[in-house]
Amino acid sequence: MADKVIKELTIKVWRQKNAKTAGKFETYKINDISGGTSFLEMLDILNEQLINDGQEPIAFDHDCREGICGMCSLFINGRAHGPDDDITTCQLHMRKFNEGETITIEPWRAGAFPVIKDLIVDRTAFEKVLQAGGYISVNTGGVPDGNAIPISQDDAEEAMDAAACIGCGACVATCKNSSAMLFVSAKVSHLAKLPQGRVEASRRAKNMVAKMDELGFGNCTNTGACEVECPKGISIANIARLNREFLSAKIKD
Amino acid sequence: MSSFLSSSIGKKLIMSLSGLFLVLFLLVHLILNSFLMFDNTGELFNAGAHFMAMPVIRFGLQPVLFGGFIVHIIYAIILTLQNQKARPQKYASQNLSNSSTWSSRNMFVLGGLVLVFIAMHLMHFFVPIQIQGNVHDDYQLVKNLFTNGSTGLVYTGLYVVGAILLGLHLAHGFWSAFQSIGMSNIIWRARLEKAGYIYAIIISGGFIIIPLYLHFFA
């Protein structure tokens, strides 16, 4: 079956020259987009059109375009990564949109993620949280024998599920409080479930939460919106674990 | 300790513990109020009210209860103000209705409305009974409020609305408290959410039925 072709779309997109200037929405028309076009390819086509018209192309983040790097962002029609579940923006396809639709594209909005230009935000805050403890300090050696350190299947699965976080920031963008708890909880959890990570677990939870608070992310109110919009389906059960890790670390002090 | 109380998770722990304390209080309150429906002479309810007015409870537990309310309210304000500040520029369009419940997103508004209700509720019963101390028949005071000619129906309606607001607050608050303490995982989340809904329905339903009963049947 041939892909459907959308004859006309209106793209309402946030344009902002740089971090210091105020931005505003601009509206563009784009024609003849096939349903198999990815959302970012649609933006590429629009940018080509803008360049040909002598205008500045729209700046947006992207890298791998296969849903694993966490670089693409975009708040599309009121949802992080647009109108589909468990995907990043690069995995969103134009068949999800209707003929004649107006598509609103905004950057992630959070005080901790300032806009650099157009749709690009500065997500360095996530790196700073990771630098505060999202690692193992000692060399744990080469690839060990699979059975050298016994780890239960359940623990290994849970650690891997948490490790699926690509740090895209959709949780912060979606959360009504701009809370980074889902991200931080995933980073704490994937190490907390494994013996190599246990050694520094207390220090890690305390330092990462302290850094998260310091950077101006909001407080989690357990609405659960983050896990729905997370492209990797990270569960807020990880947030409960982070709360546990943090509280037990503080009690030990 | 200070770094603990100023941390986001520490503040939420205080919200959870004070919230769970108030959740327990509501159950005690509902059980006492249910006496209103089981004895139309009012003797049973008055006995319960006198028990609650014993010095141990009045001067021992009541300040703790008020403290619980005040802590819950103050931390709600601090957390909400911080959360407002965390997103200086709002989205032009954001649709959260598919990803979270209305009550979970409006806990502060619901809590504020419940607080307004509580203020009215204290004026009706707490002030005349415990502060002015000029009430001899507590049952009659309650019954009069809901059956008094022109205003009885209005107050019955207001108390029903208050109970619904409280129920919505509990529908998210109950489960959320356990999540914030860290007492949740994938399995227990579903159980706690269900328990929260059941608890909200019991508390809210109970406080709805009592004024309706007094207005229409007592």
- Domains of chain B: residue spans and CATH: 2-88+99-216 (1.20.1300.10)
Q: Which residues pair with A102 in a beta bridge?
A: A10
Which chain B residues are closer than 8 Å to A75 by Cβ?
A: 91, 94
- pLDDT value for B5: 87
Measured in residues, chain B has a length of 218
Chain B, 154 to 173: residues with Cβ < 8 Å from chain A are 172
- pLDDT value for A206: 97
Q: Which of A109, A218, A225 sits opposite B99 (nearest CB)?
A: A225
Chain B, 189 to 218: residues with Cβ < 8 Å from chain A are 189
- pLDDT value for A1: 55
Q: Which residue in chain B is spatially nearest to A13 when comparing CA positions?
A: B92
Residues A35-40: what's their mean pLDDT? 96
Contact in structure between B18 and B71 (CB atoms under 8 Å): yes
Residues A189-210: what's their mean pLDDT? 95
Please name the residues in contact with B29: beta carbons below 8 A apart, sequence gap of 6 or more: none
Q: Which of A78, A244, A247 sits opposite B95 (nearest CB)?
A: A78
Kindly tell me if the per-residue pLDDT of A141 is higher than 70. Answer: yes
Ordered alpha helix ranges (H), A112-236: 124-131, 153-163, 170-174, 181-192, 195-198, 201-214, 225-229
What is the spatial distance between Cα A194 and Cα A199, in angstroms, rounded to a whole number? 10
Q: Give the model confidence (pLDDT) of B33-64 as tens digits.
A: 999 999 999 999 999 999 988 889 989 999 99
Identify the helix (H) or strand (E) that includes residue A41: helix A39-52
Predicted complex ipTM: 0.93
Please name the residues in contact with A115: beta carbons below 8 A apart, sequence gap of 6 or more: A14, A16, A19, A23, A107, A121, A122
Contact A237 B13 (CB under 8 A): no
* φ, ψ of residue A8 in degrees (nearest 5): -145, 135
User: pLDDT exceeding 90 applies to what percent of chain B?
Assistant: 86
Report how many Cβ contacts below 8 Å link chain A to chain B. Answer: 138
- pLDDT value for A2: 67
For an interface test with A, which of B2, B9, B170 has the most A Cβ atoms less than 10 Å from its Cβ? Answer: B9
Four-point Cα dihedral A171, A174, A176, A180, nearest 10? 20
Residues B205-211: what's their mean pLDDT? 98
Kindly tell me if the per-residue pLDDT of B146 is higher than 90. Answer: yes
Measured in residues, chain A has a length of 253
Q: Give the model confidence (pLDDT) of B92-145 as tens digits.
A: 999 999 999 999 999 999 999 999 999 999 999 999 988 888 888 999 999 999
Question: Rounded mean pLDDT of chain B?
Answer: 95
* CA-based nearest distance B64→chain A, Å: 24
pLDDT category, A197, cuts 50, 70, 90?
Answer: very high
- pLDDT value for B134: 81
- pLDDT value for B1: 58
What is the spatial distance between Cα A136 and Cα A199, in angstroms, rounded to a whole number? 9
Contact A218 B176 (CB under 8 A): no
- pLDDT value for A147: 76
- Domains of chain A: residue spans and CATH: 5-116 (3.10.20.30), 123-140+148-252 (1.10.1060.10)
Kindly tell me if the per-residue pLDDT of A225 is higher than 80. Answer: yes
Contact B189 A246 (CB under 8 A): no
Q: Which residue in chain B is spatially nearest to A245 when comparing CA positions?
A: B182
- pLDDT value for A107: 98
Looking at the complex, does the CB of residue B2 fall below 8 Å from at least one CB of chain A? Answer: no
Please name the residues in contact with B129: beta carbons below 8 A apart, sequence gap of 6 or more: B49, B53, B135, B138, B141
Residues B177-203: what's their mean pLDDT? 97
Contact in structure between A235 and B186 (CB atoms under 8 Å): yes
Structure tokens at B89: 């520029």
Q: Which residues pair with A25 in a beta bridge?
A: A14
Kindly tell me if the per-residue pLDDT of A45 is higher than 60. Answer: yes
